[in-house]
Amino acid sequence: MNPVIMRIEAHDVRFPTSRTLDGSDAMNPNPDYSAAYCVLHTSDDRLCGHGLAFTIGRGTEIVVAAIEAIAPTVTGLTLDEIEGDLAGFWRRIVGDSQLRWLGPEKGVVHLAAAAIVNAVWDLLARRAGKPLWRYLADMTPAEIVAAIDFRHISDALDPGRARELLEARQPDKAARITRLLAEGHPAYTTSAGWLGYSDDKIEALAQDALADGWRALKMKVGRDMDDDVRRCRTLRRVLGNDALLMIDANQVWEVDEAIKWMQALAPFDPYWIEEPLSPDDILGHARVRQAVAPIRVATGEHCHNRVMFKQFLQADAIDVVQIDACRLGGVNEVLAVLLLAAQFGKPVCPHAGGVGLCEYVQHLSFFDAAAVAPDSEGRMIEHAGHLHEHFVDPIRIRAGRYLAPERPGFSVEMKRDSVVRYRFADGEAWRRASA
């Protein structure tokens, strides 16, 4: 069975989360968690691929327009053609020279490429009858290497070295998979600490999280230092000394300001400070990291491609690599960054939350744990508790851990009813809102 990709259907789907301030932070006061969602139809009626780029409201229609602009590059291809040259396929998607000008390999066109690329991997995994992480884990090191575009990163990681890193994990891959299936994957939760929540709400949510088995929580900071000190004190009191407290500034500080602010929050023993600066500021992060050690520095949800991650690692600017499944150009580029992280000995803790990101990144972390990462030290998947009900194959959490995805594919297929109801602006949820 070698289906042809026939056409791409793209939708602007928005959830009105700004009404409850779920997801509010210092940079994004009122997001409407949204997705530019695409469905790849094939010549086999039973086989569709699903992908999305996560957005936060206005402008989702721009990403949909970009998906439609890229679509002709992928329609007409067979799955065998794609599987036979995965890096070539990816270069074709991100390399259309006229569209590339609009990035290159960043912003709207890269988000749209990610949605399509991920939908294609969804197709490949579904055809193989495997959840994506198992599909990847079952590929040989040579096959994984052949899926990666090493352009612009070969000074840090070349195909030979990438293969060595993967070969080194082969002997205990089966045992790792067995353990992942039995125990799931470590995680932390962001659901308790949105900036728009009251102190009482944060305290109550943190207590609930502990009762549910979470041992790592993240809180948003960066709007007001006194507020942050007070909230960190509250959370540390609730969490006790053993649970991890991560904090996230969502890019609002200058270099010196970040260092000063972290001095004020250091007494509460934060595990990491996330996005202290502009996501483009590699050298700034290196300065902050030196100043705030031993507090870790984390960034990546807005790190737009492998070239940027390469430099964050080369400059020793971060401790935690926070890949995003659809900010990077989909699975192929994620593979490059997982291997870069392994090469530089840094753990990958993917960005999640939003809509569909938890569903996506669980596959990336399970694969990383099975076949790439040298050990489990410091590796966690982000979790947020909202909007999973819109997915056909939602995440499953037990006692602060993700359970291994079991159904074929990449898990971001939305329920048809949700797409129709939340489509902007003609879905019922938005017609009511404007009425």
CB of 343 to a copy of itself, least distance (A): 15
Q: Known catalytic residue: 260?
A: no
The residue range among 96-104, 241-249, 381-389, 421-429 that interacts with a copy of itself, by the rule CB under 8 A, is 96-104
Choose, by CB under 8 A, the member of 148, 255, 318, 342 that binds a copy of itself.
255
Counting Cβ atoms within 10 Å, is residue 293 exposed (0-12), middle (13-18) or buried (19+)? exposed
For residues 320 and 296, is the Cβ–Cβ distance under 8 A?
Answer: yes
Inter-residue contact 338 to 139 (CB < 8 Å): no
Binding flags for a copy of itself, 343-362, as an x/- string (CB under 8 A): --------------------
Task: Find the helix or strand (DSSP H, E) in which 207 lies.
Answer: helix 199-211
Task: Write b or e for each residue in 208-241: b if 16 or more Cβ atoms lie within 10 A of its Cβ, otherwise e.
Answer: ebbeeebbbbbbbbbbeeeebbebbebbbebbee
CB 56 → a copy of itself: shortest distance, Å?
Answer: 5
- Reading the block at residue 277, the tokens are 């600066």
User: Considering only residues 63, 94, 166, 209, which one is a binding residue for a copy of itself as defined by CB under 8 A?
Assistant: 63
* Dist. CA 70–CA 195, nearest whole Å: 37
Question: C-beta of 150: minimal distance to a copy of itself in Å?
Answer: 8
Neighbours of 349 (CB within 10 A): 29
The residue assigned the tokens 């490949």 is 124
Residue 78 interacting with a copy of itself (CB under 8 A): no
8 A C-beta contact, residue 289 and residue 318: yes
For the CB of residue 85, give the shortest distance to a copy of itself in the complex, in Å. Answer: 20
Least separation in angstroms between residue 254's CB and a copy of itself is 5
Residue 58 lies near a copy of itself (rule: CB under 8 A): yes
Note whether 75 binds a copy of itself by CB under 8 A: no
Active-site hit among 220, 304, 346, 390? 220
Degrees to nearest 5, angle at CA 185 with 251 and 335: 65
User: Looking at 75, 234, 311, 376, which residue binds a copy of itself (CB under 8 A)?
Assistant: 311
Interface residues toward a copy of itself, by CB under 8 A: 27-32, 55-59, 61-63, 65-66, 69, 96-111, 151-152, 154-155, 251, 254-256, 277-284, 287, 302, 304-305, 307-308, 310-311, 314-315
Active-site residue list? 220, 351
